[in-house]
């Protein structure tokens, strides 16, 4: 069993990453979920996390982390995820409890008191993880890896060069990428190939149960994606969880990757050294391709798990 902690900003694709992780208790032990200002304000993404955890009848600690980036103000993404940060269905007022503790202190004790290593799944801006690594560098040996959705070595989405999660807090991303902790990067190179088609989304409509709710979320997400030219819906964040479940679904390559924090058109870019003989040692496993059928079946099987639970 892999011990994991999911740091997120739900977010439609964040919600699905949580769902698939919780559908695999034999393989992934979800120690907790934390939120970070990103897709929407911390208040909204934490409410969305409560909603999804309640819907799944989950029982894991939920802690709210940083409101916004280390240095710059938060730039959210209502154009992709709607006004609530997870539009598409109405949830009842959430009752799911929030653990009111300082996230970084909690993580520190969790790591130091544990005999086993923990994998962090970062699917929002990397602010919380950067704060942990900067405040308590001695935790590094306790971290198995950081498996993150962010960046892209071929292109961006929020700007031509930069992907949203990295762009929102490049200073944090730089700390994570340079930390020496093993990093697996599921960036746009792979996540845009890891999509659901409109037909696959429609197939959920008549299934009832959790699938029907997920249909509502994905229907909204698919329609909002069209304004950016996507007919199919990339489930960006889910790549991290499927990678931890079955790394053979993906192909990747090690690169030396630098996060650009300079002001200007490349701010937030993940610049990979693509030269034949890079001067700096490769530090990041960059996922580049996925077997889409197998990827999609992880989601479909997880939905069935909850529908029939």
Q: Catalytic residue positions? A: 236
Instruction: Please report, as residue ranges, which positions from 168 to 207 form the binding site for Ca ion (by CB under 5 A).
Output: none
77 interacts with, out of ligand BDR, Ca ion, none, CB within 5 to 8 A per kind: ligand BDR
Binding-site member from 69, 82, 124, 152 for Ca ion (CB under 5 A): 124
Q: How far is the CB of 124 from Ca ion (least distance, A)?
A: 5
Binding-site member from 7, 14, 169, 189 for Ca ion (CB under 5 A): 14
Q: How many CB atoms lie within 10 A of CB 207?
A: 15
Residue 33, beta-bridge partner list: 6, 62
User: What is d(CA 152, CA 169) in angstroms, rounded to the nearest whole number?
Assistant: 15
Q: How far is the CB of 60 from ligand BDR (least distance, A)?
A: 19
User: What is d(CA 149, CA 242) in angstroms, rounded to the nearest whole number?
Assistant: 12
Q: How far is the CB of 80 from ligand BDR (least distance, A)?
A: 5
Binding-site member from 35, 127, 128, 165 for ligand BDR (CB under 6 A): 165
Instruction: Please report, as residue ranges, which positions from 212 to 251 form the binding site for Ca ion (by CB under 5 A).
Output: 237
**Which one, of 216, 219, 140, 213, lies nearest residue 176 by Cα?**
140
Q: How many CB atoms lie within 10 A of CB 59?
A: 10
Q: How many residues bind ligand BDR (CB under 6 A)?
A: 14
**Which one, of 124, 130, 197, lies nearest residue 163 by Cα?**
124
User: What is d(CA 204, CA 303) in angstroms, rounded to the nearest whole number?
Assistant: 9
Q: Does 14 bind ligand BDR (CB under 6 A)?
A: yes
Three-state DSSP at 25 gives coil
Q: How far is the CB of 48 from Ca ion (least distance, A)?
A: 11
Q: How many residues bind Ca ion (CB under 5 A)?
A: 6
Binding-site member from 80, 131, 172, 242 for ligand BDR (CB under 6 A): 80
7 interacts with, out of Ca ion, ligand BDR, none, CB within 5 to 8 A per kind: none
80 interacts with, out of Ca ion, ligand BDR, none, CB within 5 to 8 A per kind: ligand BDR
Three-state DSSP at 185 gives strand
Q: How far is the CB of 188 from ligand BDR (least distance, A)?
A: 7
Q: Does 40 bind ligand BDR (CB under 6 A)?
A: no
Q: What is the DSSP letter of 62?
A: E
Q: How far is the CB of 138 from ligand BDR (least distance, A)?
A: 29
Whole-number Cα distances in Å, 112 to 37, 69, 129, 184: 26, 26, 16, 23
Contacts of 132 (CB under 8 A, 6+ apart): 104, 107, 108, 139
User: What is d(CA 214, CA 224) in angstroms, rounded to the nearest whole number?
Assistant: 15
Tell me the window of 11-19, 129-137, 169-177, 215-223 that interacts with Ca ion (CB under 5 A): 11-19
Tokens 């409890």 belong to which residue?
97
Return residues touching ligand BDR (CB under 6 A).
Answer: 11, 13-14, 39, 77, 80, 123, 149, 157, 163-165, 236-237
Binding positions for Ca ion, rule: CB under 5 A: 9, 11, 14, 123-124, 237
């Amino acid at each position: 069993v892999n011990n994991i902690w999911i740091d997120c900003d739900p977010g439609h694709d964040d919600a699905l990453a949580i769902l698939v992780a919780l559908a695999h208790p034999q393989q992934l032990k979800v120690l907790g979920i934390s939120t970070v200002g990103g897709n929407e304000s911390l208040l909204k993404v934490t409410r969305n996390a409560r909603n999804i955890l309640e819907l799944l009848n989950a029982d894991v600690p939920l802690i709210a982390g940083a409101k916004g980036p280390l240095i710059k103000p938060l730039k959210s993404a209502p154009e992709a995820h709607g006004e609530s940060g997870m539009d598409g269905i109405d949830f009842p007022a959430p009752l799911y409890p929030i653990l009111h503790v300082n996230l970084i202190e909690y993580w520190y004790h969790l790591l130091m008191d544990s005999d086993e290593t923990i994998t962090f799944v970062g699917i929002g801006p990397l602010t919380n993880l950067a704060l942990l690594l900067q405040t308590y560098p001695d935790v590094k040996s306790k971290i198995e890896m950081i498996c993150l959705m962010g960046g892209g070595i071929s292109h961006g989405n929020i700007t031509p060069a930069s992907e949203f999660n990295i762009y929102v807090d490049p200073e944090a991303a730089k700390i994570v990428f340079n930390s020496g902790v093993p990093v697996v990067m599921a960036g746009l190179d792979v996540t845009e190939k890891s999509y659901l088609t409109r037909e696959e989304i429609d197939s959920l409509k008549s299934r009832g149960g959790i699938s029907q709710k997920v249909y509502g979320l994905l229907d909204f997400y698919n329609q909002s994606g069209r304004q950016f030219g996507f007919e199919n819906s990339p489930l960006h964040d889910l790549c991290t969880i499927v990678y931890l479940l079955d790394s053979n679904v993906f192909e990747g390559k090690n690169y030396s990757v630098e996060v650009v924090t300079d002001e200007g058109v490349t701010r937030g870019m993940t610049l990979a050294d693509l030269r034949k003989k890079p001067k700096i040692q490769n530090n990041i496993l960059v996922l580049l391709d996925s077997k889409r059928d197998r990827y999609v079946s992880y989601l479909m099987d997880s939905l069935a798990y909850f529908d029939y639970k």
